[in-house]
Amino acid sequence: MKTTRTLGLLACVLLVSGLANARTVTVRDTLDYTDNVSGGYFFLPPDVIMDHPPYFRISLEDWDWTHTVKGRVPAGATDIQSATLSIYAWDVDGEEGEIDVIYANGMQLGTLKGMPEFSERVWTTTVFNLPPSVVQELWRNGEVTIFMDIDRDKVGDRVAIGSSTLAVNYTVPGGAVAEPDVAVYRFWSPVLSGHFYTISEPERDALISQYPDVWTFEGVAYHAFSQASDTNLRPVYRFWSNQLGSHFYTISEQEKDMIIRDYGYVWTPEGVAFYAYPEDLQPAGTWPVYRFWSSQLSKHFYTINEQEKQMVVDQYSHVWGLEGVAWYAYE
């Protein structure tokens, strides 16, 4: 059984409980289909028929799961400031009156967010703030049990759960850490069938104003660094290919050197795009940026969004192949 669990460090200076220069450490516990057990958890796996049992569950098929952070409380933590629960669900039809109620340790948190009006079946994320009494129990015993009452007020509607993430914010003594100083902006081109990423605001503004017929601005992808302000930061190199009509990014010095040496006729180096953390040197609080490759499109795609990454894996594996973690950055 494999569970994705990430220890997160949010770089912010606080004055909490009389502690000067205290900081917040966020521990995230994510449960998904890799945690399913026979007759127990029913998180939706990839490559299954989405609107069929046992994962697409109806009323009277309510189920629960437990998030555990025992043994992962940051050293020196003095308390829990707050905690949130994020549930990634499919086909919550609020327009039809479907009410799926979520409880934490027996206390009602609220209902799952429904689909937008007139939309097809979609994935939606609902975020709940855990009440103080549940946070206190979590601080005492290191776990919280979540229960879902499916379609509480009538019979017939169904729902599927992709994942559940508990984020616990602890107060820990210590000073602030290096903070990311730039946003990585993301564009999509229906003309080139590819994405483009930049930290340059002039470059961003030029694409928006001069090439709206080619590039669609999608906002901030994640946050990174404009310089190596941390000894563990590494440059992310950017390449452009006229042949493929796309950019390529890598944090690997070996891969960069190989491309320049062996594929200089395809890829032109454009220098350092920004700085990020390589795998195994990432600090707490960063998240993996995943890299995909499409042999059909001859393009790479990068995302820090876990839900987007899983959606691509589940629904577009015939187009995009997951190559792994490219680097680590801040949401």
| Same domain, yes or no: 224 and 273 | yes
What is the C-alpha to C-alpha distance for residues 96 and 48, in angstroms, rounded to an integer? 25
Tens digits of per-residue pLDDT, 289-308? 999 999 989 999 999 999 99
Query: Same domain for 236 and 324?
Result: yes
The pLDDT of residue 279: 81
Could you tell me if 232 and 251 lie in one domain?
yes
pLDDT of residue 175: 54
In the block, tokens 């992962």 appear at 72
**Do 160 and 103 lie in a common domain?**
yes
Q: What is the pLDDT of residue 22?
A: 67
Domain that holds residue 126: 4-173
Cβ atoms within 10 Å, residue 93 = 17
Q: How many CB atoms lie within 10 A of CB 136?
A: 13
- Percent of the chain at pLDDT above 70? 91
- Whether residue 5 has pLDDT greater than 50: no
Q: Based on the domain organization, do 193 and 274 belong to the same domain?
A: yes
Phi-psi region of 197 (alpha: psi -120 to 50; beta: other; left: phi over 0): beta
Q: Is the pLDDT of residue 133 over 90?
A: yes
**Of 145, 173, 201, which one is at a domain's C-terminal end?**
173
pLDDT digits (tens, 9 = 90+) for 65-88: 999 998 878 777 899 999 999 999
Helices (H) and strands (E) in the chain, counts: 4, 19
225 close to 274: Cβ distance less than 8 angstroms: yes
Query: Cis peptide leading into 54, omega within 30 of 0?
Result: yes
Q: pLDDT for 197-242, tens place per residue?
A: 999 998 999 999 999 999 999 999 999 999 888 777 899 999 999 9
Q: Which tokens hold the place of 86? A: 């994020």
Query: Backbone phi, then psi, for 69, in 5-degree steps?
Result: -120, 15
Do 248 and 270 form a contact (C-beta atoms < 8 A)? no
Residues 287 and 323 in one domain: yes
Strand pairing report for 101-104 and 107-111: antiparallel
Identify the top-confidence range among 18-22, 95-99, 114-118, 144-148.
144-148
Q: Are residues 25 and 84 in the same domain?
A: yes
pLDDT in tens, 143-184: 999 999 999 887 778 999 999 999 898 887 765 567 888 999
Model confidence at 129, pLDDT cuts 50, 70, 90, reads: very high
Gap between the Cα atoms of 325 and 173, Å rounded = 31
Q: Is the peptide bond before 132 cis (omega within 30 degrees of 0)?
A: no
**Is the predicted pLDDT of residue 95 greater than 80, yes or no?**
no
Both structure tokens of 108: 């009602």
Residue 46 belongs to domain with CATH number: 2.60.120.260
User: How many domains in the chain?
Assistant: 2
At position 100, the amino acid (one-letter code) is: D
**pTM of the predicted model as reported, rounded to 2 decimal places:** 0.55
Whether 118 shows a pLDDT value over 90: the answer reads no
Tokens 């452009």 sit on residue? 240
pLDDT at 249 over 90: yes
Residue that finishes a domain, picked among 150, 173, 196: 173
Domain boundary among 121, 140, 173: 173
* pLDDT range class, residue 102, cuts 50, 70, 90: very high
Please indicate, yes or no, whether residues 27 and 159 belong to a single structural domain of this protein: yes
Among 195, 218, 232, 188, residue whose Cα is nearest residue 327? 232
Task: Please give the structure tokens belonging to residue 32.
Answer: 């998904």
Is the pLDDT at 98 greater than 60? The verdict is yes
Please indicate, yes or no, whether residues 121 and 201 belong to a single structural domain of this protein.
no
Beta strands in the chain (DSSP E): 4-16, 19-31, 57-58, 63-68, 79-90, 101-104, 107-111, 123-129, 143-149, 158-173, 182-189, 194-198, 216-224, 234-241, 246-250, 268-276, 287-294, 299-303, 321-329
Is residue 165 domain-shared with residue 190, that is, in the same domain?
no
Rounded-to-integer distance, Cα 69 and Cα 79, Å: 14
Q: Which residue has the tokens 């499409």?
A: 294
Average pLDDT over residues 50-60: 92
C-alpha span between 102 and 225 (Å, rounded) = 38
Are the CB atoms for 43 and 33 separated by under 8 Å?
A: yes
Look over the chain and give the mean of its residue pLDDT values, rounded to a whole number: 86
Say yes or no: 38 and 81 in one domain.
Answer: yes
Q: Are residues 156 and 251 in the same domain?
A: no
Contact by Cβ (8 Å): 301, 291: yes
- Alpha-carbon distance values, 117 to 92, 114, 122, 159 (Å): 11, 9, 11, 17
pLDDT of residue 2 exceeding 70, the answer is no
